[in-house]
Structure 1
Amino acid sequence: MKSIKFFSSLLVLTFVLACSSSNDSGTDCDSLADATDAAQAAYLTATPDNQVTRCNAYKAALQNEIVNCGDEFGDLQAIVDGLNCTASTTTGTLSMSLGSAPISFDEITVTTTGTTRHVHGENSTTTSYIVDFDVEIGQTGANKINNFQLRLLSQTYTPLIPAAFGNNWTNNITVNSSTSIVGTFRGELVNAGQTSVQDMLGGVVDIDF
């Protein structure tokens, strides 16, 4: 009778250890997924100075997750394949007017993640003006600019839809190739607290990268 009880205890112990090992493996993959998410968040908020470094860190996190946890449907590998971690040289025009005040961005970068191109513009003479928006690769026509943000004097402005004073948000992309983006945009922008509205006119993107 004692030997039967001892054997039963061994079975229970083996089962507990097996479950613990499985949970540890799952926890490791959860941690790797969290690391990938953090690297992605850092990459999406990269500046021209750290874009290459953060892009490579994001790619490394994806590859680490693939190696250790698999990639059953190839989604992670597709992101890796779509990442371009080389420093981009972008020339052309990225400008707008706020009321009658013109703003021009002379430091422009274009980064690509999957099927999305992210355009980032800064003014080299001041940190008060930063613009960001996304365009899906190859798409042209009306309303193809997504996630538009203008950083102005420490506040972030986004399109006000519908407009309060009649200048409705509109944009049109006429060229969207592997090396160029050309289009126009305009509309009212509002800050996060909706306490300030900016009247944006004459927005132009005409860049080669």
Structure 2
Amino acid sequence: MAKTEDIIRGKIGNTVFYRVGGETRMRSAASNYLDADTDKQRENRSRLRVALRFYQRVPEACSREAWKIAAAGSTTSGYNLFMKQNMMVFKPDGKIGDFSRLQLSAGLLQKVDNLVVTAGKDDTVTLAWDKEVDLPSARADDRLVVIVLYANRSFTPVFVETDGATRGDGRATIRLSRKRGTAAHLYCFFREKEGKAYSGSQYVRI
């Protein structure tokens, strides 16, 4: 049995989410047929557990909040929206199958346009993008957010300091922290100044 602090109810695939006291728990749904424990169903349950474990480690303030806002006004939750977008990215063996397909943010703000990434010495990375601003979906003061997954600890998302870089700056320099030769998977997106809207994430590997 797995637990999460998010308020989730209902059924996803063969898994039922329900509330006990202040906790959300999940269990396999009862089946009325004999082949309810096929290899495929076991894989799907494992995949769901893997995706849930990752979601619980995503930074609340700068990524999980984006999914909640994106789901606002609909019949689904931020968690369910994240799972719909990302569950098949995860593998039943507990790994991420394709980092480039993973989305760590969602929303209506404009994504990073023409992102160019340059790796420098001492693991500094320069990000540059088009400064197109003053649109309803792209303001100069939208804040840049960068989350990194290092290949040797891919289930530990790391929020990277950007020194307050905004869309209008057109560039930002960040510093990574990794062992030599370790791949870094960067997810870049914009957050409205007051945190009321986000863009989808854009992926790059360094």
TM-score normalised by L of structure 2: 0.30
Larger proportion of strand: 1
TM-score normalised by L of structure 1: 0.29
Q: Which has the larger radius of gyration?
A: 1
